[in-house]
């Protein structure tokens, strides 16, 4: 009986260690995801600015003129 109890306690201890390691890994992933979401937002904003600039005629150009 003592051996079984010892094995259960050892298994619980190992499970707690694995759980702590997983929590640490998840925390790192959460911060990386937040960083990626930030860069995605920055990229989308830049894309929108570039598209808006593309649609506006440049100074000195006739908007009806076309390049062929």
Print pLDDT tens along the chain (68 aa). Answer: 778 999 999 999 999 999 999 999 999 999 999 999 999 999 999 999 999 999 987 766 655 655 55
**55, two tokens:** 């649609």
Residue 34 lies in a domain: yes
Would you say residue 62 lies in a domain?
A: no
Domain membership of residue 42 as a residue range: 6-51
The span from the CA of 57 to the CA of 63, in Å, is: 6
Element (H, E) at 28: helix 2-55
Q: What is the pLDDT of residue 44?
A: 98
Query: Residue 23: what pLDDT?
Result: 97
Q: How far apart are CA 47 and CA 6, in angstroms?
A: 61
**Rounded to whole angstroms, what are the CA distances from 42 to 13, 31, 33?**
44, 17, 14
Domain count, the chain: 1
- Is the pTM here over 0.85, yes or no? no
């Amino acid at each position: 009986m003592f051996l079984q109890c010892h094995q259960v306690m050892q298994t619980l201890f190992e499970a707690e260690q694995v759980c702590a390691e997983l929590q640490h890994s998840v925390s790192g992933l959460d911060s990386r995801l937040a960083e990626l979401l930030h860069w995605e937002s920055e990229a989308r904003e830049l894309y929108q600015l570039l598209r808006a600039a593309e649609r506006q005629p440049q100074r000195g150009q006739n908007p009806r003129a076309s390049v062929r």
